[in-house]
Every structure is written in structure tokens, then in C-alpha cells.
Amino acid sequence: MDPLLVLLLVLLGFMLIGSLIAIETRDLLSSIISIGAVGLALNVVFLMLGAPDLAITQAVVEIIILVVLLRVILTRRDESYATSRSTLAVGSVLLVLGFLVALVFGALSRSGGGGLQMRPFGDPLMNESGPATAMAPAGEPQAVPPEHRTEAMPQSIGGAYLKYGLEKTRAANYVTGILLDYRAYDTLGEATVIFVAVIGAYAVLRKVGRHRHGRDVVNR
């Protein structure tokens, strides 16, 4: 087996265990530390899969989230937080674990080899699904008949990005070129989501302050 895949599976198991500990532990501080360990493993996974942009973002966001959570937990010190251990919860955890094991086995089995017929890891579904001329930027021929299609024409979205990306966006970092040029509309949606979340946090927390003190805590 591919050593990269073995390492990925080991990290995946580590993340599973860490997540379970984070859910099941009684101490909130231990829970936060487990979340940090899971984030670190996820960071290594991103690096191994060749996604440094994601790795940087994951590491930084993880750190700042940990700081904020620690700050809140250490300030509040709420000890009366007991987890319920009903049989339903344990059963559902086992069910999810079973599904994950089945998924891993399905991913490991070769397609056509009697497994679950799942695609190999890293083989996207859209690789050979028809022409991707719609992904070409404005100015390129939009619709090419199949008989005129040459070998150089990319057959997938990823191929179109790789073929036209550097020439059309002139961004040496392809990821940024796609995020802020090809898919900038999605990025605007993401920015809107963050903006709304920030506004919601302000509104909720400010309401608490007003309610307790009878004056505006935010605009002191």
C-alpha cells in the first residue's frame, strides 16, 4: 500500500480518537486540548495532500479559536457541565464508526475488484465528464463541436483551470487565482457569511451586557 495512504489513515484514526475524547470528556479544558490535537493532525493531512494554503489557514484559525475558547472557559469555569451517557448516544457513535470503517474499506478496494466500487482516493468524479469549454474565460471559443475538439482542449474543470488559469489571471498562486477570479462570487458569499456571523456575535453579546447592566456595554 502507498505509504502516504497509510500515514493518512493513521492520522485519520488519531483525529477520530481525538474527536471522541473531545466529545466524551467531562472537563471542558481537556475537550479544548483534544480539539487542538485534532486540528494539528488535520493540518498535517493538508500539508501531505499538497495544500499549503489550506494548511496555513487551518493552523492559524485553529490557534486563534483555541485562544478564544480557552479565554472563555478559563473565565467562566463552569463545573456543572455533565455529559449524558445514554445508550442511544453510544449506539449512534458506534453506528457512525461502523459507517466510517465501511467507507475506508470501500475507498481501499479497487473499483471492479469486488469492493464497493468506490473511486480511488484523489480521483475526482468530474475528470472525464464531458467538455469543459464552458469553463474557458470570455474570449475563448465557447462551444466547440466534438469533431473539432483537439487534444489540447481540457476535458475537465480542473484541466481548464490549469490550462487557462495562469494566462488569464496572471496569479502565480493558482488557488488564489481561482478563489478570487474564477470563483470570486463564491468568495463573496463566504465573506458575507463571516460578516453576518460577526454581526450576530456582536448583537447577541451586546444584548447580554445591556440586560445585565441596564446600559450599553459595547459603546462605553
Partner 1 sequence: MGGMSLIVKNITRLVAAFIALFGAYIVLYGHLTPGGGFAGGVILASALVLVVLAFGEEFSRQIFSHGAARVSDSAGALVFLLVGLSGYLAGAFFANFPDLLGTVGRLASAGTIPISNLAIGVKVGAGLFGVFLALALFRRRGERRSMEPDLEVFDTEARS
Which residues of this chain interact with partner 1, rule CB under 8 A?
52-53, 55-57, 60-61, 63-64, 67-68, 71-72, 74-77, 138, 166, 168-173, 175-177, 179-181, 184-185, 187-188, 191-192, 194-195, 197-198, 201-202, 205-206, 208-209, 212-213, 217-219
Q: What angle do CA 28, 30, 32 make, to 5 degrees?
A: 70
- Backbone phi, psi, residue 154, to 5°: -70, 145
- Name residue 140's beta-bridge partners: 138
User: In Å, how far from its chain's centre is CA 20?
Assistant: 19
Distance in Å, CB of 63 to partner 1, minimum: 6
CA distance 164 to 153: 11
If the CB atoms of residues 71 and 119 are measured against partner 1, the closer one turns out to be: 71
Distance in Å, CB of 218 to partner 1, minimum: 7
Distance in Å, CB of 149 to partner 1, minimum: 25
Burial class (CB in 10 A: 0-12, 13-18, 19+), 165: buried
The length of the chain in residues reads 220
Distance in Å, CB of 140 to partner 1, minimum: 13
Distance in Å, CB of 139 to partner 1, minimum: 9
If the CB atoms of residues 92 and 173 are measured against partner 1, the closer one turns out to be: 173
If the CB atoms of residues 157 and 217 are measured against partner 1, the closer one turns out to be: 217
Q: Which of 55, 45, 40, 52 is nearest to 4 (CA)?
A: 45
Distance in Å, CB of 58 to partner 1, minimum: 9
If the CB atoms of residues 60 and 101 are measured against partner 1, the closer one turns out to be: 60
Alpha helices in 113-215 (DSSP H): 157-169, 174-177, 184-213
If the CB atoms of residues 117 and 173 are measured against partner 1, the closer one turns out to be: 173
If the CB atoms of residues 145 and 185 are measured against partner 1, the closer one turns out to be: 185
Q: Which of 66, 6, 11 is nearest to 42 (CA)?
A: 11
Q: Which of 186, 141, 134 is nearest to 160 (CA)?
A: 134
